[in-house]
Amino acid sequence: MTSVLVPVAYLVIVFGGLFVFSFYYRKATSQKKYEPYFPSHPERNAYVTLLQKNNPPAHDALLKSALIRRAMADVQRVVRIREDKAALQNLLQKGSVGDDLWNSLLAAEKEMEAEIMEVVGEANSFVEGWGQVIFQTANEMIVNEKMRAIFERTNEAKTEIEAKYELTRSRPTPAVIEPSAAGSAPPTTPAKTANGLLSPTSPTYTDSVVSSDGEGSVTSASGTRGGKKKNKKRK
């Protein structure tokens, strides 16, 4: 009988101790205040300040503009939380970061859910149904601002590129070497006929005929000598 009660008592003590520890640990961590993931929300503070202004009250156009700015900041924060959550989860599994940062991210995620519901309610208070499209409008405005920033930086980027390649453009061009008066004249291009053959009057054509004959100059010389001999005999 005692052999059965000992392991049962051991299991009760172990599991009971784990249960008590987890209960007090969760209670202590739930009351613990973590460092906020986002330090502040200036767009929300500006909208609340304008909303509480009574003497004179803020114009509706100004309040709508401030609410749009608040929604734009919320969209950027939601995108950042989505991007950071997967990375932090992997780092947490590897033990590279502590639980404080992860819990701070989860608290910021819950805070953003409440913030989105509040913005939707404020938008519907101005125009019924505006809360369904306010974040879509805010996202489009964010994209437009990014494109405008890129367009405005075009001249600056052009100046940087010109300054970067200034040395390449300022290099002197190499001087053209002209033939001197004592030097040889540049070779002339032989004249050609319409069918692509060399012209008979070109010096290249004459040289080619003499070189192909091989005896042209000799023949002319011998002919001259023979003529002189015949003239002597006749005399």
Residue 194 lies in a domain: no
Helix axes 99-126, 134-152, angle to 10 degrees: 110
Check residue 83 and give its pLDDT: 92
| Distance (Å) of CA 82 to CA 32, 89, 101, 105, 119 | 24, 11, 15, 10, 19
Stated length of the chain: 235
In DSSP terms, which residues pair with 57 in a beta bridge?
54
> What pLDDT, on the 0 to 100 scale, is given for residue 210?
43
Number of domains into which the chain is organized:
1
pLDDT at 36: 81
Give the pLDDT score at 218.
39
Residues 24, 31: Cα–Cα separation, whole Å: 11
Q: Is residue 181, in this structure, part of any structural domain at all?
A: no
Q: What angle do CA 100, 105, 106 make, to 5 degrees?
A: 100
In a domain, 44, yes or no: yes
User: Residue 64 domain-assigned?
Assistant: yes
CA 156 remoteness from chain centre: 16
So what's the pLDDT on residue 49? 93
Predicted local confidence at residue 187, as pLDDT: 52
pTM of structure: 0.56
Residue 191 inside a domain? The answer is no
Range of the domain at 43: 23-166
pLDDT of the residue at 97: 80
For the chain, residues with pLDDT lower than 70 are 1-3, 23-34, 167-235
* pLDDT value of position 14: 81
Q: Flag whether 16 is in a domain.
A: no
pLDDT at 208: 45
Domain-embedded: residue 88: yes
Report if residue 50 sits inside a domain.
Answer: yes
Q: What tens digit of pLDDT does each residue of 96-148 get?
A: 888 888 888 999 999 999 999 999 999 999 999 999 999 999 999 999 999 99
